[in-house]
Amino acid sequence: MKPSITKLRNYFRLEADKDYENKAIIGGIESMLEPWAAEARVDQIPEAIIQVVMVRLRDYQGLSQNSRKEVLGGIWKRIERELGAEPLDDDVQQRPQRKPQPQAAVKSEIKPSPEKVEPPPEKEDSPPQVRQEIEDQEPADLNANVTTLDKIGPGYAEKLKQLNIETLGDLLYHFPKRYVNYSELKPINKLVFEDTVTVIGTVKSIHKRAIKSGKNQLVEAILSDGTGALQITWFNQPWIINKIKANSQISISGKIDQYLGRLTVNNPEWSPLGRENLLAQGISPVYPLTAKITQNWLRQRMKALVIKWAAKVRDPLPLTLRESAEVMDLSIALRQAHYPESWSKLKLAQHRLAFDEIFLLQLGVLQQKKAWQDRKAQAYEISDDTFRTIIEGLPFKLTGAQEQSLADMRADLASGHPMNRLIQGDVGSGKTVVAALAAAILSQNGAQSAIMAPTSILAEQHYQTFLSLLAKENSGLAAEEIRLMIGATSESEKEEIRAGLSAGEIKIVIGTHAIIEDPVTFDNLQLAVIDEQHRFGVNQRAALRAKGDNPHILVMTATPIPRSLALTVYGDLDLTVIDEMPPGRQSVDTAVRYPQERELAYNLIRRQVEAGHQAFIIYPLVEESEKSEEKAAVEEYARLQKEIFPHFSLGLLHGRLSPSDKEATMKKFQTGEFDVLVSTSVVEVGVDVPNATVMLIEGAHRFGLAQLHQFRGRVGRGDAKSYCILIPGKRDAVENQRLKAMVETNDGFVLAERDLDQRGPGQFLGTRQSGFSELQMASITDLPLIEKARRHAKAIHHRDPTLALSEHQLLGNSLDRFWQVNSSDIS
Ligand code: ADP
Ligand code: MG
């Protein structure tokens, strides 16, 4: 048995000894999960097993002693079966008496060297022997606590924690958000409107005043540098008055604006001018901070860290790889990223660090994919004749793209390995039928399927679709064999469903996360379908998987991600794109209207509602706070109801409503009780209200094209002509140019590509869903970088899939670290 498995067995046995009181480990079994998972990965325990352990033990504390016993027993059975581990309870005599400790924090391997010993300055073109020398030094232990550094005691360690910095590695990877070059400062009389600059000067005066009935406060200061004076204004940061004293010297950075013909700066970043800045030669970093840490303090610590430690960081990339990828050595890159010698070296450093991120991301994804492919699964085949019979029972003819995805899926199901496929198709492209047919193939073979939707409304919608597509003779399924299980399902019905699922009488269950949370067990769960995949985290997916035994997985998403990006983000999934709409779909008539033309839009809504249709009105996220988004929607809702549509019935949907209130409102709109739904951007993705024909979007400039397209997809789902009206905040040429794309095309992929060009991936994907939450340096729009990293990751993976070679040992460690931090939503 691998050491991590032995360790786990010891924990489990000790816990049994202690009657499952969760006292085997200080801090409870939950506290050992993360360190254990890291060890298990080093031991190359299959990720699925690690996930089972993590997911099932996460809430261990909340379980009864009996359930704990069952959970531990269940996990161990699986480990026994899949890894051939020893049973849990043999040789009772030899139980370990010593209390196993959770992995202790690794102590630093070296102490910081005394002040004067500085490593030789390295050059990026340093010859191999110098490189070798660097690598021969004692390595830096990046896991050592920050207190290892001079002048960082427990107090500062606590403050750094607020920046998520606990170890030397965290600190070393806390990169500047920008840089200033104090020797390239501009004198005030040379400033130009719209410059983004740093200026140093003396504060001539500073005062605070209230505006707008005392609600808002501003602090105004005059900064002078001898060549001229600059007016500075900070809005709503009244505390600044206590921080900046008149006649003190500060440096400010910001964008030059003008007001009544005078140059001004609004809300600049600022810092008191220390000796440090004045003496600073060249480019200085500007770090993200918390309130309790100053820029100068952090700069000094960083400088010490970089000088003493960066050189000792061992490069996880083998030299040959660094050379062929043409990237800078890591220690040099780290140093240059904090204290660049020049802008061009900074660029090279950033390139190297970005390369690492994408490279490690891809390498991890490739490993996951391989682990997945190496597993065995039940093979499911269906004869062409039977399949054709089922298809002939459908109410429509399949599109070519649907046929293609069915062919992909059938091949996966028949392969003997678990399917892990992402079906990506624009809203309305007909993904549901593909999922339904997958479930039908399984039920033909006596196996069960679970379909997961992110909300009850969507689950119900799918349930109805599945019934109408499958509950008929052609597919051999009866209505009772397809069931819906959501939060609102009564306990007695749930009981009945549980019985039906464990007896194998129910073939298809459709529902929400209620299915995962429920203690339901399946007789033979072999397919899990997950709709709108970004709404489910990796843990939930793993939990669903754990209900079956290596089930096939089909994931569906309407987020139209350009292929290049999909390969990066979802590289471990096989990808099918449905790029064709069912015939006869009318495109939605789209127009950009100016605020002054709003009345036209209201008239259109009136006419449509009077003709028996319904409309959506969407309000955007207003920047200041989420509260204002609601406020806008709530206030507008009241105004619309009273002044604009007094004879219609309006519903209101926003993020503060409880999930059940949201559902209730949505339901009332769906059933036609509301004529108009006023909503913030929370309106559900994928909800089908075929009778809705108008989508009016206020503040349209605040949304990305992909998101606007999602909104537009809420209408045009029935036979009637539908309309989408975009109202940007103001007449702004650039914005309107962007929104015009919506008028020009109804193709979600085209819009996604444009969005990506214009707004970048962070906005486009949202960091949480992208799984790129920890990417600091890399941009996923940097396709040449992605391509390069991908190529090298593939080459290494091909040669050494498990990173077993000694030259890849450091790389393996980096990979674990990276994925520990990044175990976000990547499937
Ligand atoms: P989405 O991909 O957004 O989940 P759905 O699966 O909900 O799309 O399908 C949208 C609508 O199109 C449904 O009403 C469905 O019945 C219909 N549909 C799906 N495929 C076809 C087809 N090949 N021909 C005609 N209508 C279809
Ligand atoms: Mg759908």
Does residue 484 register a pLDDT over 90? yes
| Ligand 1 lined by 814 (C-beta under 6 Å) | no
Angle between helices 33-42 and 47-57 (to 10 degrees): 170
Length of the chain: 827
Tell me what the mean pLDDT of segment 793-816 comes to.
90
Q: Enumerate residues 6+ apart whose C-beta is below 8 A from 105.
A: 143, 145
| Ligand 1 lined by 468 (C-beta under 6 Å) | no
Tell me what the mean pLDDT of segment 118-145 comes to.
53
Burial class (CB in 10 A: 0-12, 13-18, 19+), 299: buried
Cα–ligand 2 centroid distance for 209 (angstroms):
53
Please compute Rg for the chain using Cα positions: 30
Angle between helices 432-444 and 400-414 (to 10 degrees): 40
Report H helices in 475-551.
491-503, 514-517, 538-546
**What confidence tier does 623 reach under pLDDT thresholds 50, 70, 90?**
very low
Mean of pLDDT over the chain: 82
pLDDT for position 564: 61
For 768, list phi and psi in degrees, rounded to 5. -60, -45
For 138, list phi and psi in degrees, rounded to 5. -60, 135
Which pairs count as long-range contacts for 602-610, CB under 8 Å and 24+ apart, including other chains? 602/644, 602/645, 604/694, 604/723, 604/725, 605/645, 605/676, 605/694, 605/696, 606/645, 608/693, 608/694, 608/723, 609/645, 609/648, 609/675, 609/676
**What confidence tier does 518 reach under pLDDT thresholds 50, 70, 90?**
confident
Tell me what the mean pLDDT of segment 42-54 comes to.
82
| Ligand 1 lined by 217 (C-beta under 6 Å) | no
Residue 540: DSSP 8-state: H
Least confident of 377-381, 442-446, 620-624: 620-624
User: How far apart, in whole angstroms, are the C-alpha atoms of residue 816 and residue 43?
Assistant: 11
| Ligand with smallest separation from the Cα of 435 | 1
Residues 74, 81: contact at Cβ < 8 Å? Answer: no
Residues 609, 648: contact at Cβ < 8 Å? Answer: yes
Does residue 181 register a pLDDT over 80? no
pLDDT for position 356: 93
Atom number in ligand 1 closest to CA 432: 6
pLDDT for position 276: 59
pLDDT digits (tens, 9 = 90+) for 155-164: 999 999 988 8
* Ligand 1 pocket, mutate which of 432, 530, 580, 687 (most atoms under 8 A from CB): 432
pLDDT for position 753: 76
pLDDT for position 279: 53
DSSP 609-627: HHTT-EEEEE-PPPSS-HH
| Ligand 1 lined by 487 (C-beta under 6 Å) | no
pLDDT for position 625: 47
Tell me what the mean pLDDT of segment 197-212 comes to.
86
* Ligand 1 pocket, mutate which of 399, 433, 466 (most atoms under 8 A from CB): 433
DSSP 150-167: TT--HHHHHHHHTTT--B
Does residue 252 register a pLDDT over 60? yes
| Ligand 1 lined by 535 (C-beta under 6 Å) | no
Atom number in ligand 1 closest to CA 431: 2
DSSP 303-346: HHHHHHHGGGPPPSS-HHHHHHHT---HHHHHHHHHS-SSHHHH
Q: Using alpha carbons, list the distances in angstroms from residue 209 to 234, 241, 252, 306.
A: 11, 10, 21, 43
**What confidence tier does 131 reach under pLDDT thresholds 50, 70, 90?**
very low
